[in-house]
Structure 1
Amino acid sequence: MTATNIAIVGVGKIARDQHVPAISGNARFHLAATVSSHSGLDGIDNFETLDALLAARPDIEAMALCMPPQVRYEAAAKAIAADRHVLLEKPPGATIAEVEALVRMAKAQNVALFATWHSRFAAAVEPARLWLQDKKVRHVSVIWKEDVRRWHPGQAWIWQPGGLGVFDPGINALSIVTRILPEPFHLVSSTLEFPDGRDAPIAATLRFTGDGGFEVEANFDWRQTGPQSWDIEVETESGTLLLRSGGAEMHVDGRETLREDDAEYDGIYARFAELISTRDIDADLSPLIHVADAFMLGRRVVVEPFA
């Protein structure tokens, strides 16, 4: 099978840490170029702009867009118009409407579009979904706390409008919960803590209610030091499920049933290859909708400045 030539647009930390190794490890892709105005990758053809790449390299069939969400829509629209398949790093865009527009464009152009949620490809997520599919959920608790300085050093865009703040990691938790729960849920209250002088929150406390009467409580915080916390606990009438380490571990009633190393981006690129082969679209916006609702219902609390 001939490998698909793919380009990475936006060569930042996530591209170097996750996308490059995953592409290199997948025989169905060949990393043919990058787009970066600052620095590319050794031995890989680099272009300063997407326009330059699209004009010079018609052989590149797919694009992985890894730039901040605030500027992703224009790049995705250009790539789709040029008949390129598009993978969107999470969150897929700065607004729901712009991602919906990209879906319409991709359908009209008959190209693949993949709005990725990497945490859904954690090893224990699908086993958790299968375990829960016939269970009656009573209560869900989500604790997602990490150190922003460790994961986003010097990245100003995360504090700007559209950068999501603490929802950049928090949306990972929501992507898992929306995948594993057997019934949908919606937001009923939101408290957002904004550092003085910043346009995005550093912490959030959310409460949801499910169609079956259960509650989901979520606490997101970017001020965690020491061990990081990425846990989801689901209490059901038939026992308690616990996902730990962002979905890498699964426990049922206190007994560990699964623990595997991170291979989330390997799963993403396996899925993208499937979508390219069928020219299909995978763009579930439910995690982004919950974040938008959190901003709409959010009670704003100003906290100490973040520097």
Structure 2
Amino acid sequence: MPTKIALVGIGKIAVDQHVPALAASPDFTLAATISRKGEVAGVPSFTDFHAFLEACPDVPVVSLCLPPVPRFDYAEAALLAGRHVMLEKPPGATLAEVHELQALAASRGLTLYATWHSRMARAVAAAKAWLADKAVHEAHITWREDVRKWHPGQDWVFEPGGMGVFDPGINALSILTEILPQPVHLTEATLEVPANRQTPIAAQLRFTGHVTADFDWRQTGPQTWDITVETDRGPMALRMGGNVLEIAGKPVAGDADIMGEYPALYARMADLLRTRASDVDLAPMVHVADALSLGRRQTVAAFDF
């Protein structure tokens, strides 16, 4: 029988990705939602998380889709109540709080899964395999999109803990840390912060190993999610957010028209539950924390939705 799961935070990402993925999942059935405003038709809904925990002791898994700043309290409460927890990216507002959740889950024998949906893009595994025996000479990330399209009116992304352009940029970093055969670390960053906001709307990063990144949330029209790599055996590129792999300029793997990231996340969660294991890789978040620590701030034009 499918495992009952509750979805917390019925916002855009939940409606667009989590709800359809769960509806198609052979492993889970959506048994409850918890949200101040959103609901899913036909599914019992709660506005208070503790009321859900008391009313639904038979729902063993909680998937948290709410913004990162309030997420720790929900995750901690779920683990203390004996529930397994799945975290939307980024897994928290700070590294320290995620480490605390790791320790709590381990002490109680519960599964904690910090998800990185872009790692599940269709060509990422093929890119990792191709790079495994190559020497990487340089790599560059171009991740440019329109914040008004993907986070319409969501001011929390520009508040402390919202991460600004690193909210999408961390997706690129999750791919980078997955596919590179050798680890890298940040050496410098420039953060472009709107005059009326707290977090960057654009950022330029430089890492060891001749790796650079360009993140921008002001691009209208076609969106750009590319990672290019120069190796001792020619160039490689991941396009469309990791869904198309090009070798020497020619597509060789992936499919830009079939997005299976969130179904793959829930399949992975089911595997972790079967083995009572956890998966909490914080490498992408470390790069963001380093950028926010080392970055030089440049004030740019005010931004409003």
Which residue identity lines up with residue 206 of structure 2 in the other structure?
A: R
Q: SS of the counterpart of 2:164?
A: coil
256-265 or 93-102: bigger deviation: 256-265
Q: Which residue of 1 aligns with 2:216?
A: 221
Q: Which residue of 1 aligns with 2:289?
A: 292
Measured after TM superposition, the shift of residue 197 of structure 1 is 1.5
List aligned pairs for 1:119-268, cutoff 5 A: 119-209=118-208, 214-260=209-255, 261-268=258-265
Distance 2:186 2:62 in 1: 34
35-44 or 215-224: bigger deviation: 35-44
Distance 1:189 1:151 in 2: 27
Measured after TM superposition, the shift of residue 77 of structure 1 is 0.3
1:185-206, Cα deviation, whole Å (9 max, x unpaired): 0001100000002011000000
Measured after TM superposition, the shift of residue 110 of structure 1 is 0.6
Which contiguous aligned blocks of 4+ residues in structure 1 show a shift greater than 6 angstroms?
none
Measured after TM superposition, the shift of residue 267 of structure 1 is 0.7
Distance 2:44 2:129 in 1: 43
Q: Which residue of 1 aligns with 2:95?
A: 96
Measured after TM superposition, the shift of residue 259 of structure 1 is 2.9
RMSD: 0.6
Aligned pair count reads: 302
Which residue identity lines up with residue 9 of structure 1 in the other structure?
A: V
Measured after TM superposition, the shift of residue 278 of structure 1 is 1.3
Contact kept in structure 1, 2:9 and 2:38, CA below 8 Å? no
Distance 1:296 1:28 in 2: 40
Measured after TM superposition, the shift of residue 128 of structure 1 is 0.3
Q: SS of the counterpart of 2:213?
A: strand
TM-score (norm 2): 0.98
Out of 260, 263, 280, the position equivalent to 2:277 is 280
Q: Which residue of 1 aligns with 2:302?
A: 305
Q: SS of the counterpart of 2:70?
A: helix
Q: SS of the counterpart of 1:164?
A: coil
Measured after TM superposition, the shift of residue 42 of structure 1 is 1.0
Which residue identity lines up with residue 115 of structure 1 in the other structure?
A: A
What runs of 5+ residues in structure 2 fail to find an aligned partner? none
1:124-162, Cα deviation, whole Å (9 max, x unpaired): 000000000010000001000000000000101101000
Distance 1:13 1:144 in 2: 20
Q: SS of the counterpart of 2:185?
A: strand
Distance 1:165 1:83 in 2: 33
Distance 1:279 1:215 in 2: 39
Distance 2:135 2:48 in 1: 51
Measured after TM superposition, the shift of residue 39 of structure 1 is 2.3
Q: Which residue of 2 aligns with 1:270?
A: 267
Which residue identity lines up with residue 140 of structure 1 in the other structure?
A: A
Q: SS of the counterpart of 1:14?
A: helix
Distance 2:16 2:165 in 1: 20
Q: Identity of counterpart residues, as a percentage?
A: 53
Distance 1:259 1:17 in 2: 22
Which residue identity lines up with residue 250 of structure 2 in the other structure?
A: R
Distance 1:271 1:290 in 2: 24
1:92-150, Cα deviation, whole Å (9 max, x unpaired): 00000000100000001111110000000000000000000010000001000000000
